[in-house]
Amino acid sequence: MLWAALLPDPGLSDSQRTDAVRAHAVWCLQFTPRVSVVEPASQRPAVVMEVEASARLFGGKRQLVEHVKAQAPELGVAQLSWAPTSLAAVALARAGRSNGFAKPLESLLDELPLPVLGAVALHAATLARLGCQTLGQVRALPRGGLSRRFDKDLLVALDQAYGLRPEAHTWVELPDTFSARLELMSRVELAPALLFGARRLLLQLCAWLSARRSGVTACTLRWCHDVMRSKTAGDGGALTIRTAEPTRNLEHLSRLLAEHLARVELLAPVGDLQLEADEVQPLEEQTRSLLPDVREDGESLSLVLERIAARLGPERVRRPVIAEDHRPEWMCHWQPAPHKRARRLARPLDHPQPTFILAQPLRLALRDSRPLYQGPLQLLAGPHRIEFGWWDRVGERPGESKDPSAPGAGTHRHVARDYWVALSEHAGVLWIFQTRLANEQSAWFLHGIFA
């Protein structure tokens, strides 16, 4: 078996220790459901997890151990140890050792002092008078005398640590909602400095999301002001960050939060942080290709746009969204980039489409009822008729004014056009159309250019 034990910082207060143990337990649930808290009522509680069965999912034991080692210090883990049994891992962690596989387990544990096991530490004074300073010396005593003189928990703990008796644990259950609190080590006066503590909360959030196979689209960071504050400062503040699509990417959420915190001004020093997941959605896992995809190492466009929008404001970063419309000038519209991208519906095209579309069609001159553009135009293909939009009114599209007094409000955008592919001796291949509405005078317009 492969067990890991995590110890919080011994210098924490009682409330900080309780929050740290809860945070470590939730974080461990992303690796395995077999997570438990050992001796939660003692001064040195530990979180243990058994990862033997799930090591294959993370690329093997070596990669799993390296992954845990990389993130554990950032979460505030003071000591991380590995051993074949949970109590052995806890004992090694309390002794400041990490590798329980360096040599036989029995020889490793025999060297450890008495306080590393809670059941043995309760009788440390009596055992010291008997000349016992290590676990090996306690095990050398007659078992019959130990069972009569001390309670049964001492022998049970020793046997379980050495792997001579099966262990029983109460497993930690994954909460249905996420809300984590962090008491800061010192008071923070600048909002960007909150990111250090907030990132620790984001680590827990991403682990919780991973265990639930979900992603977050909105989360709120709250902070409480110090009790020694002015009356006008209030109790605290809050900041909500949103993403265009469900994610549990720690680095992206950290960068996004950093951009928002850079624009926040604290009214008083902050002593506590709290992070809540507001909107959680199932995250669809994508099938990995047999061959490596170089794009996976880079940052996707949507993540980059979210970070830029957080810095400049959501209304200043826009992207085109395809619309189901036959009229070329309204086939797409612009919306704030962080919004969810509209799903494009595939529509087969049976006619040529130009590379460039003019923002406004250019009316062409005529000679003998033939259109001119840098000389006479030769019609190559067409006509392709487009008649669309009798129901479409100005102001009903995204980004347009809906003020009934605005110019053009209430008018329809009904079009009836015959499109042609035309050749100009000097301008190349063009896309032109002739209007066909009964209430319009027939005219020719240039609308696109083929590259």
Average pLDDT of span 28-38: 94
pLDDT digits (tens, 9 = 90+) for 323-342: 666 666 666 667 776 555 44
Q: What is the pLDDT of residue 438?
A: 63
Instruction: Reply yes or no on whether the pLDDT at 345 is more than 50.
Output: no
Q: Is the pLDDT of residue 48 over 80?
A: yes
Question: What is the predicted pLDDT for the residue at 288?
Answer: 53
Residue-range domains of the chain with CATH = 3-161 (no CATH), 179-282 (3.30.1490.100), 356-449 (no CATH)
According to the model, what pLDDT value does residue 346 have?
A: 45
pTM attached to this predicted model: 0.65
Cβ–Cβ under 8 Å, residues 67 and 58: yes
CB 194 within 8 A of CB 223: yes
In sign, the C-alpha dihedral spanning 14, 17, 23, 24 is negative
- 109 or 317, which is more confident? 109
pLDDT of 420 above 60? yes
